A and B are shown apart, each in its own frame.
Chain A
Amino acid sequence: MEHNNISPWIEVVDEAPVEMSARVRLARNLQHVPFPHVQADKEKLDPALSKIEGALSEYQKVPMEMLQFEDKALLVEKYLISPLFTKQGICSYVNDDESVSVMVNEEDHIRIQSMGAGIPIQELYQKAEKVDETLEDAVDYAFDEQYGYLTACPTNTGTGMRASVMLHLPALSLSGKIDRLAVNLGRFGFTLRGIYGEGSVPLGHIYQLSNQLTLGQTEEDIIQNLDELKSQVVEEELETRSRIQENHALEIKDSVHRAFGTLKHAYKMSLKEAAKCLSEVKLGIDLGIIDYEDFKFQKWVQLIQPAFLKMRLNITKRRYRSLEAAVDEERATLLRELSGGK
């Protein structure tokens, strides 16, 4: 299995200020079959498994029982599977560029997801819908006229769709405006939260904006609302950035160059520090403080995650005393290589 590298779809992503990748996922279930968290009657799912496999014959099959802990952790960092899926997932299916995947036996029987960047979210939905239609022909979905697609958790009932977009929001995050913004977005039925780390400030100032409600709106309406709110957040971030630059030009210039220097010259680096440096350099590029064409924020943020680095350690077969220290050292080595340091 070749999932050791960065997903091909991320390799070709064009960097944009603020907006990163987007994702659409659909939750689907099988008629009259207990949901995955109910232990009894697991065999009721069996007949559907071969039908799903038949319908997804063009996809690469990744059975979970074949994977080691590190392999699973890597798939989580690539967003191909979820942490919950590492525990109870039966099988996932992945397309060639790893932008579309299907999880069987996550919280729902079937989870379809489609990822991409620089593509309209509606198009990502259409890609997921295509898989949905293929599966719909193969198995009988649990669907109710009033409640729509029936899901294990009532927060997904209806469309079963969660559409989200990742945003790099350093200015809103550092200026403290983000909390008020999150509350306002909540009023529209949308959630804004950090994706890495559980602290008050998420790693790399990377946030995810997603719909909270799945009932009473069509898929198209949800996506349109997400698009509009996303544009507003992006605009607010850009405005805040220019205000910060006006008032704190020297401080910004200093921190951007310091971060760049750290990426190029450090010999050990925690995930937190690496994410902070990458975020500051990205901000510096967006503000025109430094010119750095080869900088790939989305790709590098993924490469500095632990499972990716452990994979590199295994490849180089180095001896180390503490795994965490070895990972921190490898992270710095990787960033020196990437940023053209020594």
Chain B
Amino acid sequence: MKCESCNEREATIHISKGSGLGKTERFLCEQCANASFEDEFSYPDDSFNIHQLLKSLSQQQPKRQERKRQQCETCGSTIESIVHNGKFGCPDCYRTFDRQVPEIITRVQSHQTEHVGKVPKKSQSQIKVKRELEQLKGKLSALVESQEFEQAAVVRDEIKALEEAGGRNGAQ
């Protein structure tokens, strides 16, 4: 295996720090191992470009004070820590930082905004119910607007039934 610092010489020294799950390891050649003791283990990784991109995004954003207070409840990440790491802290960050995420995603994914690929089976039914509900609600407001109340009552019951069924599935 190559030295992960210079990527040229063979890694001959293994440095591990901490223990258990918090353990970090590096595989270095002799020269880089010596140098790294002075650097105090700062790992450059492949998130460099993203890192820079996120940094530029965060600088563009107004109201820095307001954003600083926002923290992900699940992992404690802030937009600053996400910028620093070039990575989200947990899946819930996508929702917590929903104001910044669209811009990050569209920039990184070359202006793509919507997943069109595989959907896990468990999510398929939920998404189907959600879409059906959206449709029915649209239909309901159209019926109310045109004062077709009898029809509207039927649609309202359909929505209610679907919501109850959805709630049951979600709880399972």
Contacts and interface: CB of A to CB of B under 8 A. Distances in A.
- Asked if chains A and B come from one complex, the reply is yes
Interface of A: 29-35, 37-42, 69, 73, 76-77, 83-84, 86-88, 90, 107, 129, 133, 136, 140-155, 157-159, 161, 189, 197-198, 212-219, 306-307, 323-324, 327
Given A157-B105, A215-B113, A216-B109, 19 more contacts: A29-B91, A34-B89, A35-B75, A38-B75, A73-B27, A83-B27, A87-B24, A136-B122, A145-B130, A146-B114, A146-B115, A153-B47, A154-B88, A158-B112, A161-B117, A216-B114, A217-B117, A219-B118, A307-B1
B1 A35 contact: no
Contacts of A90: 21
Contact of B115 (A77, A141, A147): A147
B104 interface: yes
A213 B110 contact: yes
Contacts of A197: 2, 7
B41 to A, nearest CB: 11
Q: Give the secondary structure class of A's interface.
A: loop
B99 interface: no
A37 B85 contact: yes
B10 A146 contact: no
B136 interface: no
Contact of A327 (B10, B87, B90): B10
Contacts of A161: 117
B91 A31 contact: yes
Interface of B: 1-2, 4, 7-8, 10-12, 14, 21-27, 45, 47, 50, 74-77, 85-92, 94-95, 101, 104-105, 108-110, 112-123, 127, 130
Contacts, number: 156
Contacts of B45: 84
A327 B141 CA distance: 76
Contacts of A31: 91
**Most chain B beta-carbon contacts within 10 A, residue among A129, A147, A154:** A154
B112 A87 contact: no
B110 A189 contact: yes
B159 to A, nearest CB: 19
Contacts of A29: 91
Given A73-B1, A153-B50, A155-B108, A34 B90 contact: yes
B90 A35 contact: yes
Given A34-B90, A83-B1, A73 B11 contact: yes
